[in-house]
Amino acid sequence: MKGPDEGRDYIPYLANIDSSLFGLSVCLVDGTCFSLGDAAHPFGVESISKVFTAALILKQLGPEAVREKIGADATGLPFNSIMAIILENHSPSTPLVNAGAISACSLVEPTGNFDAKWAAILQNFEDLCGSPVSLIDELYRSESATNFDNRSIAWLLRDYGRIYDDVDLSLDLYTRQCSLAVTAEQLAHAAATIANGGVSPTGGKEVLSADLARKLTSLICTVGFYQSTGDWLYRTGIPAKSGVGGGILAVVPGVMGIGAFAPPLDAAGNSVRGQEAVAALGEELGLNVFQG
Ligand code: GLN
């Protein structure tokens, strides 16, 4: 199966992004934000979109339904793993890998209504980011033309009864949400909202309940960096989620959200300099969530 170990070429659009870009943004739970470099530069949210749609279905269906229909476990496998579905009792394990995220898109309400589902996904993105987001049309077309692995995953899930709406509609919603543009500043705001018990640190709006914010953070913690999640957590103690667009969203509960952006990826599809920046910040500020 193709993957980011072949560079960013597996999604043609991403291969052409300037690899020298770098942005870092921090948003404290009191709403104070700091940014540097290309923190206002829009890029493809990719797998970080999974965090947003997990939040949406947690809200719409409740945590037990999400656990039962998708799962809330680690996979220890690459993001596009088909084995993850087969090994885990025919379940996608978590909404934060491709299989679980396609399943999550199928669960978004109202089922059967593409426009209304997409509107709900967008609204939820904007509530968490604290500002509007828009589709990168070229990325959406690039990914739609080359996502053969995700098509296979979607149909395998359908066979196992883990797609709860039309298969093509669910896959298309997933591809679209991956193609949304965000900035490191927006990721920091979304992370800070989660870190702040679901309440926007700038607008004061409750986007998620405190309980769902905790559940979402636990999902990020267990699988946010795919097969290198344990290693990341061991080194930094910071719950974080990556995307192959080069973004990282990191949640420090009760303290801050961090957004990082730097396109070059490691073999697991995680931003190399993004990881270094978040880890260095964590070291400097003592952000390890496991400290006593
Ligand atoms: N859209 C990408 C895919 O489905 C997202 C992967 C990622 O960011 N890890 O392959």
- When pLDDT is averaged across residues 68-72 and rounded to a whole number, the result is 95
Q: Is 178 in the pocket of ligand 1 (CB under 6 A)?
A: yes
Tokens of 14: 């991403």
Residue 202 tokens read as: 């700038």
54: which residues sit within 8 A by CB, 6+ positions away? Answer: 66, 95, 96, 101, 104, 216, 219
* pLDDT confidence of residue 2: 45
Report the separation in Å between the CA atom of 166 and the middle of ligand 1, taken as the mean of its atom positions: 21
Question: What is the DSSP code string of 264-278?
Answer: -B-TTS-BHHHHHHH
pLDDT value of residue 1: 39
Residue 231 has pLDDT above 50, yes or no: yes
Q: What is the pLDDT of residues 83-106, one digit of tens each?
A: 777 766 688 889 999 999 999 999
Mean pLDDT (whole number) for 168-186 = 98
Mutate to test the pocket of ligand 1, among 102, 178, 229 (most ligand atoms within 8 A of CB): 178
What's the CA-to-centroid distance between 99 and ligand 1, angstroms? Answer: 11
- Ligand 1 centroid, distance to 178 Cα (angstroms): 7
Region 145-169 average pLDDT: 95
85 touches 156 (CB < 8 A) = yes
167 alpha carbon, distance to own chain's centre: 21
Residue nearest to atom 10 of ligand 1 (CA): 80
Class of domain 4-282: alpha beta
Structure confidence at residue 21 (pLDDT): 98
Decide: residue 284, CB within 10 A, 0-12 exposed, 13-18 middle, 19+ buried.
Answer: exposed
pLDDT over 80 (residue 3): no
Mean pLDDT confidence for 126-131: 98
- Least confident window among 75-79, 146-150, 156-160, 246-250: 75-79
Closest residue by Cα to residue 274 from 69, 63, 19, 13: 19
Cα gap 153→171, rounded to integer Å: 9
Please state, for a pLDDT cut of 90, what percent of the chain lies above it. Answer: 88
Tell the residue number behind the tokens 């969203």, with chain if given.
249
Q: Considering the chain, what is the average pLDDT of its residues?
A: 94
Whole-number Å distance between alpha carbons of 280 and 66: 34
pLDDT of amino acid 148: 95
Predicted local confidence at residue 232, as pLDDT:
98
d(CA 201, CA 203) in angstroms, rounded, equals 6
Residue 5 has pLDDT above 50, yes or no: no
Question: Ligand 1 pocket: which of 14, 97, 143, 242 to mutate (most atoms <8 Å of CB)?
Answer: 143
Q: Could you tell me which residue, 46 or 87, shows the higher pLDDT?
A: 46
What is the reported pLDDT for 87? Answer: 66
Lowest mean pLDDT, pick from 75-79, 89-93, 107-111, 164-168 = 89-93
The contacts of residue 268 (CB under 8 Å, 6+ apart) are: 4, 78, 225, 226, 227, 228, 242
pLDDT value at position 155? 95
ipTM of model = 0.97
Q: Is 46 in the pocket of ligand 1 (CB under 6 A)?
A: yes
The pLDDT, as a whole number, for residue 9 is 66
pTM of the predicted structure, to 2 decimals: 0.96
> What token pair was written down for 177?
């949400």
What's the rounded mean pLDDT across residues 195-214? Answer: 97
pLDDT in tens, 238-260: 999 999 999 999 999 999 999 99
Query: Which residues are paired to 33 by β-bridges?
Result: 27
